[in-house]
A and B are shown apart, each in its own frame.
Chain A
């Protein structure tokens, strides 16, 4: 072996010069190009589309690699001292960096779905990078194995011309394999993992074929070593396969009836997912806000206008969302095993109001968010009396009321540890005008609030930041936390006119609000991310977000487990 190594190094240069590089280079360039075109055109591709294109790119690469073993001087090489296997390995080693580079580029283009957040566009589901790499490696190995087989069969050195069409034919056959033995499945398929066990076997078989057909000598040592390595590799692949997804409990729609209603007076419903009876999330969804005839009008289609959702048909359904927080099979989801009560808002009052407001002779809006929320709260308390852990999560406008609901949960379930995580309303101002006009008059929230929440405060003093400090005073055991993007353009756009500054400096308002809450004696854990983004729970960014080396999901896990994490704040908040 030592001699082989000694001969290999000087051979590298001449081999590099002897290889016909063009086919490999073209294949390696074409693969990423196939992914680049739809990405550049901003096409909304499903995960299946992206997976298929990635597979086509892998085939391009494999076809290019099929020509790496082409050797026009093949007729003269049987007499050279270096074995064919060594020469093939050398050529493969030289080609591998190009293949790796091309594949990395392909994958990065394929998974670049999340970059621009187009309005209303769902981000592409996470690409199964590992599994697709296994497929690409198998295709590459098949191409090389077929090329070595061609070397054995003909002496003119044209290996690729046989191997490339053969690889393509095999790939076509693999595509058409029926279900029990299928290889090319869509990422969501229940047999995805099993199909990749089959891919691992294909890879192993192709590598063995590559070594066997390149081998001319009599000693079996190398082949034995190779087979041992391959078996180990296959075993490793099987071991590192992700565990089969656990069946996710379903969402149930609950129609509470009674006084509950949406803004237009129609039925209100909320959603429940039953899982762990001891751990529950109360999810207060956004859904927009309104406080005048223009904003509150029952216009637009599907029960929502540009400002808010005004009936039960509008708004997100938890079962429609499969990414971010709602991907309850994601291994990194801190709330994967939790039962969830999902409360959508269809009243334009951030779950706070209890009044019928007549904005115009033809427009009476039922701001009954507090009533609807109370029904969901009742359901939670009666269904999960033994809960030890309740996390109240508020999304955008839903986070305004999150601390108050945290206090209400603590009243109903005194034995549970209650954590409040309010996201994206940190910039809502404490402005006497807003407090009186909107919270007090338009929504009737001041009158509807529990006594402890308004204790000692007049309607003009009762602003959103007070919700936090009043909750801390009433229920000191509740852990309070908030999240904001520093310059979120959408989170507080409706209330801009009550903010100081024109345009207001959102981050300094967030900071001032937090300071006010903490001056009033509350501990408010905070996580402030840089930039002008908006979405969080509905995106896989939920798992990727990391500020100052602290991942949001880790921070949240520590928070709900009762380990008080220190505040996280961006250093350069205007850069993403």
Chain B
């Protein structure tokens, strides 16, 4: 008796249920694979630990963290998908069962399709993780702004893309070293593409990670990142790689052609759309928000202080107020300036390449004058770390101690580069008021002093990240540090008592040390 074995021909299309069953089994193996488990845990641990180790995570800017989260997901979960997807395809070769699989019901290309489909649950897990992170941050922290859903979706899309790359590599070469090495090449591109392309430019969007981040967070309406087209581009690329993998495995026919054409169209359309630079209205809005912040802000009065924040950043005002209040509280009532304004500002040179930094300072001064808040104290779009708190506290202290506005006494070009030097008693007071404001500001004072140590010594405080506005030289800082280590009430009382003397312009550092009852430093000041 003879049995006739009829193998289903590839054109007949393998039973859909068999493909799905295989995909289910493969996806379970993929999710259980130690590499996937480790990568998922690493991603989760890195996100959770950032809450404790990176101070600014407590005041998250969601339109920045969306990209950040997607990048982390691309590297860790995407890397896992690349490696495990590849290992799954190579399993039959490794086990020496390639020949055996030839007689199974599913032809090679259908098995490849199942391997590709097996990536979807991991992608879904990625989507859940990234959405959960955003939701938790928005709920638990005074978050600023809003995430871009397309930017978030780029994370899971990258998982799909890298997984498809892994499957394709498994179809191209039997060596298991190819996929891990491909991941390393992608990582090298992640590191080096930005400097190689000289800070990015739009061409960087062609890389999976997308364009470079701005120097500092900006209001969501100014981001204008082509995240949607980039997502289409990533999905298109994933589709192209998947099509290549099934083609390589022997699939032919109209459906493959259609899928390939769709993916190509998607990749090309997304790829070209993402390269167009933001429209003229966005550019105008960017320049306007940067140069005339007062026209785009909502202000809120707390006590004697007006706080003006960009849209979405209002949740930070109570935190700013804590720092400002702690500085103002140490100043005798008569010396408190009638009105104090704290104004949020952004300084992104790329937003207005025509003007120099000095011109931006002039524009801000004009903007303040026009808004009726001359001499407003600037605050940036980072918050939560010590440096930001110290910068704000020091600028407020400078206003209160000198009555000057930052930049009043020196010509703008000099303030650009080194900031206003605050000498003698005034300098000591500025540093002391800063350090005593909050524990975070004290950390920030030490941090800023550490930054200046290798340079000119003392401590420089910044308005946004571009402009050092106030500089306290080393001897003044040394006295303030001494004073900060003494009992707070004692020093505070001495400051109240001797305020007029301490804030007089000709009071020297040595006299200040005497008034505060701390030893005078050996070196005399650099102030002329």
* A residues lining the B interface (CB < 8 Å): 22-23, 26-27, 30, 34, 37-38, 41, 43-46, 49, 52-53, 56, 59-60, 63-64, 66-67, 156, 158, 160-161, 164-166, 168-169, 172-173, 176, 178-179, 247-257, 267, 271, 274, 301, 303, 312-313, 317, 319-320, 322
Q: How far, in angstroms, from A169 to B33 measured CA to CA in the complex?
A: 12
> Is B334 part of the binding interface, using a Cβ–Cβ cutoff of 8 Å?
no
Contact A38 B184 (CB under 8 A): no
Output the nearest chain B residue to A255 by Cβ-Cβ distance.
Answer: B528
Which residues from chain A contact B87 at a C-beta distance below 8 Å?
161, 165
Alpha-carbon gap, A282 to B5, bound state (A): 95
- Give Cα A251 to B455, complex, Å: 5
B188 interface hit (Cβ, 8 Å):
yes
Q: A67 contacts B177, CB within 8 Å?
A: yes
In the complex, which of the residues B94, B180, B418, B453 contacts A165, with contact meaning CB atoms closer than 8 Å? B180
Given A34-B185, A319-B454, residue A165 in contact with residue B83 (CB < 8 A): yes
- B184, B192, B421, B457: the one contacting A30 at CB < 8 Å is B184
Given contacts A38-B192, A63-B184, A249-B457, list 6 more A-B pairs with CB under 8 A.
A37-B192, A172-B75, A172-B76, A248-B453, A253-B526, A255-B528
Report the 7 A-B pairs with minimum CB-CB distance, sorted nearest first.
Answer: A250-B457, A319-B455, A23-B177, A43-B196, A161-B176, A34-B188, A251-B456
* Contact partner, B192, options A22, A49, A251, A322, Cβ 8 Å: A49
The answer to whether B473 touches A176 (Cβ under 8 A) is no
CA distance A59 to B177 in the complex (A): 12
Contact of A37 among B34, B183, B196 (CB under 8 A): B196
Q: Is the CB of A45 within 8 A of B417?
A: no
| Most A-side CB within 10 Å, residue of B180, B181, B473 | B180
Chain B, residues 56-78, CB within 8 Å of chain A (1/0): the string is 00000000000000000001100
Find B195's partner among A49, A165, A252 (CB 8 Å cutoff).
Answer: A49
Q: How far is the CB of B335 from chain A (nearest CB, A)?
A: 28
Separation of A64 and B178 alpha carbons in the complex (Å): 9
State the Cβ distance, B43 to closest chain A Cβ, in Å: 9
- Which B residues lie within 8 Å of A176 (CB)? 42, 45-46
| Residue B38 at the chain A interface, CB threshold 8 Å | yes
Residues in B with CB closer than 8 Å to A250 are 452-458, 474
Q: Is the CB of B35 within 8 A of A169?
A: yes
Taking the closest CB of chain A, its distance from the CB of B194, in whole angstroms, is: 9
Q: Name B191's contact: one of A53, A251, A301 (CB within 8 Å).
A: A53
A327 vs B10: C-alpha distance when bound (angstroms): 69
Given the complex of chains A and B, what is the CA–CA distance between A493 and B192 in angstroms?
Answer: 37
- Would you call A41 and B418 a contact (CB within 8 A)? no
Q: Is the CB of B455 within 8 A of A38?
A: no
Interface CB pairs A-B, < 8 A, 16: A26-B177, A27-B181, A43-B196, A56-B184, A63-B180, A64-B181, A161-B87, A165-B84, A165-B87, A169-B42, A250-B474, A252-B456, A252-B473, A253-B526, A256-B528, A301-B356
Whether B456 lies near A43 (C-beta < 8 A) is no
B49 at the A interface (CB under 8 A): yes
**Chain A residue at minimum C-beta to C-beta distance from B198:** A43
Q: Does B192 contact A252, Cβ atoms closer than 8 Å?
A: no
Q: Which residues of chain A come closer than 8 Å to B185, judged between CB atoms?
A: 30, 34
A41 touches B196 (CB 8 A): yes
Nearest opposing residue in chain A for B182, CB measure: A30
Contact B526 A313 (CB under 8 A): no
Interface flags for B391-418 (1: CB within 8 Å of A; 0: not) read 0000000000000000000000110111
A319: chain B residues at CB < 8 Å are 454-456
Query: In the complex, A271 Cα to B94 Cα: how many Å?
Result: 68
Q: Binary interface profile of B, 476-502, with partner A (CB < 8 Å = 1, else 0)?
A: 000000000000000000000000000
Partner of A179, one of B53, B183, B473: B53
**Contact assessment for A23 and B175 in the assembled complex, using a CB-CB cutoff below 8 Å:** yes
Cα–Cα distance between A173 and B75 once the two chains are bound (Å): 12
Is A44 a contact of B195 with CB atoms below 8 Å?
A: yes
Most chain A Cβ neighbours within 10 Å, of B84, B95, B528: B528
| A430 CA / B484 CA spacing, docked (Å) | 60
Cβ-based interface call for B360 (8 A): no
Most A CB contacts (10 A, CB to CB) among B416, B418, B421, B455 go to: B455
For A49, give its contact among B84, B191, B414, B527 (CB under 8 Å): B191
B457 touches A52 (CB 8 A): no
A550 nearest CB across to chain B (Å): 32
Task: Give A267 to B417 CA distance when docked, in angstroms.
Answer: 14
B523 proximal to A (CB < 8 A): yes
B39 at the interface (CB under 8 A from A): yes
Contact with A along B138-178 (1 / 0, CB 8 A): 00000000000000000000000000000000000001111
Do A60 and B184 have beta carbons less than 8 Å apart? yes
Contact residues in A for B34 (Cβ distance below 8 Å): 166, 169
Q: With an 8 A cutoff between CB atoms, is B18 at the interface?
A: no
Q: Which residues does chain B contribute within 8 Å of A257, judged by CB atoms?
A: 528
Q: Does B210 contact A (CB under 8 A)?
A: no
Q: In the complex, are the beta carbons of A168 and B83 less than 8 A apart?
A: yes
Q: B residues within 8 A CB of A312?
A: 414
Given contacts A30-B181, A60-B181, A172-B42, contact A251 B83 (CB under 8 A): no
Q: A30-B184, A46-B195, A168-B83 are in contact. Are A254 and B453 (CB under 8 A)?
A: no
Q: Given the complex, which residues of B lie within 8 Å of A173, measured CB to CB?
A: 38, 42
Q: Determine if B191 and A271 form an interchain contact, defined as CB atoms under 8 angstroms apart.
A: no
- Quote the shortest CB–CB distance from A254 to chain B (angstroms): 5
Confirm or deny: B270 has a beta carbon within 8 angstroms of a beta carbon on chain A: no
CA–CA, A399 to B95, complex, Å? Answer: 74
Report if B187 contacts A (CB, 8 A). yes
**Chain B 25-56: CB-based contact to A (< 8 A → 1; otherwise 0):** 00000000011001100100110010001000
Q: Which residues 84-128 in B have Cβ within 8 Å of A in the complex?
A: 84, 87, 90, 94-95
Cα distance A178–B192 in the bound complex, in angstroms? 23
Q: Give B49's nearest chain A residue, CB to CB.
A: A178
- Chain B residues contacting A64 (CB-CB under 8 Å) are 177, 181
- Considering the chains assembled together, what is the distance between the CA atoms of A347 and B39 in angstroms? 60
Nearest CB to that of A43 among chain B residues? B196
The residues of B that contact A254 with a CB separation of less than 8 Å are 526
Q: Which residues of A contact B195 (CB under 8 A)?
A: 38, 43-46, 49
B94, A158: Cβ atoms closer than 8 Å:
yes
CA distance A186 to B183 in the complex (A): 22
Asked if B188 contacts A53 (CB within 8 A), the reply is yes
Known: A38-B195, A178-B49. A27 touches B526 (CB 8 A): no
Most chain B CB within 10 A, of A67, A172, A176, is at A172
Q: Does B386 count as interface, using CB distance less than 8 angstroms? A: no
Q: Which of A66, A161, A169, A251 contacts B39 (CB 8 A)?
A: A169
| Residue numbers in A under 8 Å from B90 (CB-CB) | 161
Q: Tell me if B79 is interfacial: C-beta within 8 Å of chain A.
A: yes
A34 to B183, CA, bound (A): 12
Query: Which A residues are in CB contact (< 8 Å) with B453?
Result: 247-248, 250
Which single residue of chain A is at the shortest CB-CB distance from B91?
A161
Which residues of A sit under 8 angstroms from B523, Cβ to Cβ? Answer: 274
A63 touches B181 (CB 8 A): yes
Residues on the A chain within 8 Å of B458, using CB: 250
Q: How far is the CA of A483 from the CA of B304 in the complex (A)?
A: 64
